Chains A and B, each alone.
Chain A
Amino acid sequence: MVGSFWKDTVEDVRRAKRGWRWGHRAQVPRSAEPFVPPPSRNVYPNDWSRTPAAMVAREFAQKVGLEPVFRSQVRTRVEGLDTLARLSGPVIFAANHASHLDTPLLLLSLPDEWRRRTAVAAAADYFFDTWWRAVGSSLLFNTLPIDRRGGTMSATPGEVLRDGWSLVIFPEGTRSKDGWVGQFRMGAAYLAVEQGVPVVPVAHRGTFAAMPRGAGWPARGRRQLTVRFGDPLVPAEGESVRQFAPRIRDAVARLLDEEQTDWYAALRRSVSGETPDPSGPDVAQWRRVWASTQSPDVEPGKIRAWRG
């Protein structure tokens, strides 16, 4: 009797865990999608997350919790940090977006003094719809809610920049479905023009291969990630948002090209308009995904034993 009770309890918990995908976002059956209620417009405020006390807590969470776990799961190579040495901040980091690993990769790649003063623009409807997601992501990643549905951004990112915080923005607005770069929205360019702050383009590779959409944890085998910071872009006098936005995307594309070649080759290709399109080749979807699932090889030519 007692035995069967515990057995049934375990079975119930297992079924619930499997059925409601504990640890993952809930899924909606396809036939029920037309009947999903609009997501809550309720955004939990997180001004508290930029107070000194929260910064101390975050430092502890990132250094003691996040960083050791992150480094134990992936290998990283960071390039172009010398760019930051020439800047005094605040800046907007504009990066391509392929995985939930992008944010910790960027933050943990930054020098500590930059990391401590950098916030991450995060979708309000995704990260701020429940109090525990809002608190968790604010505390760990210093996220800042932005509205990605409407065209207008809330006033908060501008205020944060004015207060001297740098901001990470993923201009694509969502994670890539196949690892390649999508359309860039205007948000980063708009903020840069409005607030007069430089944009530091950032390109990274390997996060899609390590932890794509739908995965809850990085793949086994300490996958390689690379991240490259580019030269800051400053809106020219009288340059409009529409003119400035493509420059950001071009800069990210050039950095991605630089990953494959070298700085000078990428520069020359950029000048002659031959930078490969970061949105990837127009081939079958599986080939696009297949190519993206290859982790970057930071030491080509080195012969290694087979890894499991």
Chain B
Amino acid sequence: MTRPGFVLEVDDRTPPLLVHEGLGFRLEEFPLGTRVIYPPEPVATVPDVDQAIREALLNPVDSEPLPELLFAGMKLTIAFDDLSLPLPTMKAPDIRGRIIEQVLEMAAAAGVDDVELIAALALHRRMTADELRHVVGERVFRSFYPQGKLYNFDAEDPANLAHLGTTEKGEDVEISKRAAESDLLVYVNVNLVAMDGGHKSVGVGLASYKSIKHHHNAKTMVHSRSFMDHKHSEMHSSAWRMGRLIGESVKVFQIETTLDNNVFGKPYDFLMKREWEWSVKDQAAMLGMRRGLALAPQKLRHKLFHDLRGAYGLTGINAGAVEPVHERTVRKVHEQQRVKIEGQADVMVMGVPYLGPYNVNSTMNPILAACMGLGYYFNSYLGQPVVREGGVAILYHPLDEGFNTLHHPSYVDFYEEVLAESTDPHVIGPKFEEQFATDPWYIHLYRTSNAYHGVHPFYMWYWIAHALDHLGDVIWVGGDRRAASRMGFRAASTLQDALEMASGAVGTSPSITYLHNPPHLLADVR
């Protein structure tokens, strides 16, 4: 029986609580009365994954069964989410590969020859061959990659982009030409959080900068409340308008999958347990890991964490028309992640872990750490933010991992030049975005190397625009002072110091809420 998520109130019986901070974690003794939000335990998974996939493809929602959409001589494109999902990367076999195999078996049975597979990475970095192989599986990789039929989407290849028109609000819709010209576009999603999927799949994953810039900007982001609630998110509204336009010219067969929250397999499973239920073995594992990490050099710690693979189970799969499929997906995601909370707090505490969507097999630089905490965790709410307007966010992360110049070259310049001038998303957008987005060197690196698009660091900063707009102060516990200061934040050595610093904004006895994730949770704040 899965236990639901709940709100713990720290009392004298509460042991120290686990807080993630980059390539490590600490045990924090929170002030009495602190509310701690625990996500639900992993919900039930489907008993037979392959059977569930087959069922979904043969009995789709508001659509003909997939075999009926396939015919000889057709142009079939299969797009799939890139390695930014799920987090951490799933143990092989990846669910996308298992789905794609079944889609291809049906396509082969129908005699379809013209098949291409596209990693829908929008402006993310290109995946390496190994990463692609992990996602689609060995058989699919061997059949398509050498022929160039399995490839990364290129948002900067004008010859392979198609402009489908503009929405009623004047937003350009420009997506992959191959996808746009296909008789059927099958999109395979991993819906780790409620934000993923829906019209955002094709409308963003296969779109160019020209299209994406309409919703990835400070103004839209501030009015997305929240990203996890697509009916109240400006960004999603824009993606929905674009998706409906795409739907007029492209037949999209959407496949969405939901996972449980088994993010840490053994022997790290204690990281997901409720601390007062830690066995002697769990306590020993915690102490051993803490001391081991303290001795290990940074590279080893990085390897240790980034080699972790999620032991996810499939909780549901839906296929068919985009919108009804997505509604079902969101319900399933909520079942796994939603926790009801009464009222907002003065202070919100978040532990930023080693991994976010944009540093898989890479480093969590200060901008990504800020985006993970203030972009993802802060925005993971329904209704209203966990912290009140003018409240304080206290985050844990050392902010000392530096920049990966292969993956995040434009981040370095953004950090050194743009943030040095202003940290206000509304200021830096109009002034610098165009320059970074069109820089030929960044475009070259995006297209030929494994670099994120030049504009990507701006998007990270727009992600946190709502938090910056809402919060009175942001304090990083254990954070590098210079990095925090460059981003316009402050650093503290301990939680006590941070609360002392926050007392100017929230007084000396503020209400505190700590989001105990990962695993991911969605705060339903009433």
Q: Does A297 contact B (CB under 8 A)?
A: no
- Proximity string of chain A (23-61) to chain B, C-beta cutoff 8 Å, 1 when within and 0 when not: 000111111101101000000000000000000000000
Pairwise interchain contact B276-A35, C-beta atoms closer than 8 A = no
Q: Does A9 contact B (CB under 8 A)?
A: yes
A209 to B342 Cα, complex, angstroms: 43
Pairwise interchain contact A5-B3, C-beta atoms closer than 8 A = no
CB of A8 to closest CB in B, whole Å: 6
Of A5, A8, A15, A30, the residue contacting B16 (CB under 8 A) is A15
- Proximity string of chain A (1-33) to chain B, C-beta cutoff 8 Å, 1 when within and 0 when not: 000010011001101100110000011111110
With A5-B295, A8-B294 given, is the CB distance from A16 to B3 under 8 Å? no
Set of chain A residues within 8 Å of B287, measured between Cβ atoms:
12-13, 16
Pairwise interchain contact B278-A20, C-beta atoms closer than 8 A = yes
Set of chain B residues within 8 Å of A28, measured between Cβ atoms:
13, 276
Pairwise interchain contact B6-A16, C-beta atoms closer than 8 A = no
Pairwise interchain contact A30-B11, C-beta atoms closer than 8 A = yes
Pairwise interchain contact B15-A19, C-beta atoms closer than 8 A = yes
Pairwise interchain contact A19-B27, C-beta atoms closer than 8 A = yes
Pairwise interchain contact B8-A32, C-beta atoms closer than 8 A = yes
Set of chain A residues within 8 Å of B10, measured between Cβ atoms:
29
Set of chain A residues within 8 Å of B29, measured between Cβ atoms:
15, 19
Pairwise interchain contact A30-B13, C-beta atoms closer than 8 A = yes
Set of chain A residues within 8 Å of B295, measured between Cβ atoms:
5
CB of B268 to closest CB in A, whole Å: 17
Pairwise interchain contact B11-A15, C-beta atoms closer than 8 A = no
A12 to B10 Cα, complex, angstroms: 20
Pairwise interchain contact B291-A9, C-beta atoms closer than 8 A = yes
Pairwise interchain contact B13-A27, C-beta atoms closer than 8 A = yes
Pairwise interchain contact B3-A29, C-beta atoms closer than 8 A = no
A31 to B286 Cα, complex, angstroms: 24
Q: Which residue on chain A has the smallest CB distance to residue B278?
A: A20
With A8-B294, A19-B27, A37-B3 given, is the CB distance from A32 to B16 under 8 Å? no
A16 to B27 Cα, complex, angstroms: 9
- Proximity string of chain A (274-292) to chain B, C-beta cutoff 8 Å, 1 when within and 0 when not: 0000000000000000000
With A5-B295, A12-B290, A16-B283 given, is the CB distance from A31 to B16 under 8 Å? no
Q: Does B14 contact A (CB under 8 A)?
A: yes
Q: Does B9 contact A (CB under 8 A)?
A: yes
Set of chain B residues within 8 Å of A16, measured between Cβ atoms:
16, 27, 283, 286-287
Set of chain B residues within 8 Å of A9, measured between Cβ atoms:
291, 294
CB of B431 to closest CB in A, whole Å: 44
8 Å CB interface, B456-501 against A: none
Q: Does B7 contact A (CB under 8 A)?
A: yes
Bin chain B's interface residue count: 20 to 34
Pairwise interchain contact A12-B27, C-beta atoms closer than 8 A = yes
A112 to B278 Cα, complex, angstroms: 41
Q: Does B444 contact A (CB under 8 A)?
A: no
Of B3, B7, B9, B294, the residue contacting A30 (CB under 8 A) is B9
Of B7, B277, B283, the residue contacting A31 (CB under 8 A) is B7
Q: Does B274 contact A (CB under 8 A)?
A: yes
Set of chain A residues within 8 Å of B7, measured between Cβ atoms:
31
Set of chain B residues within 8 Å of A12, measured between Cβ atoms:
27, 287, 290-291
Q: Which residue on chain B has the smallest CB distance to residue A38?
A: B1
- Proximity string of chain B (165-184) to chain A, C-beta cutoff 8 Å, 1 when within and 0 when not: 00000000000000000000
Set of chain B residues within 8 Å of A32, measured between Cβ atoms:
6, 8, 274, 276
Pairwise interchain contact B16-A19, C-beta atoms closer than 8 A = yes
Q: Which residue on chain A has the smallest CB distance to residue B286?
A: A16
A27 to B264 Cα, complex, angstroms: 25
CB of B2 to closest CB in A, whole Å: 11
Of A5, A13, A29, the residue contacting B276 (CB under 8 A) is A29
Set of chain B residues within 8 Å of A34, measured between Cβ atoms:
6
Pairwise interchain contact A20-B283, C-beta atoms closer than 8 A = yes
A189 to B15 Cα, complex, angstroms: 42
CB of A45 to closest CB in B, whole Å: 21
Q: Which residue on chain B has the smallest CB distance to residue A32?
A: B8
Set of chain B residues within 8 Å of A5, measured between Cβ atoms:
291, 294-295
CB of A27 to closest CB in B, whole Å: 4
CB of B285 to closest CB in A, whole Å: 11
CB of A278 to closest CB in B, whole Å: 31
A5 to B14 Cα, complex, angstroms: 26
With A16-B283, A19-B15, A19-B16 given, is the CB distance from A31 to B290 under 8 Å? no
8 Å CB interface, B1-48 against A: 3-4, 6-11, 13-16, 27, 29
Pairwise interchain contact B3-A27, C-beta atoms closer than 8 A = no
Set of chain A residues within 8 Å of B291, measured between Cβ atoms:
5, 8-9, 12
CB of B6 to closest CB in A, whole Å: 5
CB of B275 to closest CB in A, whole Å: 8
With A5-B294, A20-B283, A29-B11 given, is the CB distance from A35 to B6 under 8 Å? yes
Q: Which residue on chain A has the smallest CB distance to residue B3?
A: A35
Pairwise interchain contact B6-A20, C-beta atoms closer than 8 A = no
Set of chain B residues within 8 Å of A13, measured between Cβ atoms:
287
Set of chain B residues within 8 Å of A15, measured between Cβ atoms:
16, 27, 29
- Most chain B beta-carbon contacts within 10 A, residue among A13, A30, A32: A32
A30 to B15 Cα, complex, angstroms: 12
CB of B335 to closest CB in A, whole Å: 17
A5 to B293 Cα, complex, angstroms: 11
Pairwise interchain contact B14-A29, C-beta atoms closer than 8 A = yes
A20 to B287 Cα, complex, angstroms: 12
CB of B262 to closest CB in A, whole Å: 17
CB of B146 to closest CB in A, whole Å: 50
A8 to B292 Cα, complex, angstroms: 12
Set of chain A residues within 8 Å of B274, measured between Cβ atoms:
32, 35
Set of chain A residues within 8 Å of B283, measured between Cβ atoms:
16, 20
Q: Which residue on chain B has the smallest CB distance to residue A33?
A: B13
Set of chain A residues within 8 Å of B13, measured between Cβ atoms:
27-30
Pairwise interchain contact B9-A31, C-beta atoms closer than 8 A = yes
CB of B33 to closest CB in A, whole Å: 10
15 cross-chain CB contacts under 8 A: A5-B294, A12-B27, A13-B287, A16-B16, A16-B283, A20-B15, A20-B278, A26-B276, A27-B13, A29-B8, A29-B10, A29-B13, A31-B6, A32-B274, A34-B6
> What are the 8 tightest A-B residue pairs by CB atom distance, in nearest-first order?
A19-B15, A27-B13, A31-B9, A29-B14, A19-B16, A29-B13, A31-B8, A29-B11
Binding site for B on A (CB under 8 A): 5, 8-9, 12-13, 15-16, 19-20, 26-32, 34-35, 37
Besides the known contacts A12-B287, A13-B287, A30-B11, 14 further A-B residue pairs in the complex with CB atoms under 8 A apart? A9-B291, A15-B27, A16-B16, A16-B27, A16-B286, A20-B15, A20-B278, A20-B283, A26-B276, A29-B11, A29-B276, A31-B7, A31-B9, A32-B276
Binding site for A on B (CB under 8 A): 3-4, 6-11, 13-16, 27, 29, 274-278, 283, 286-287, 290-291, 294-295
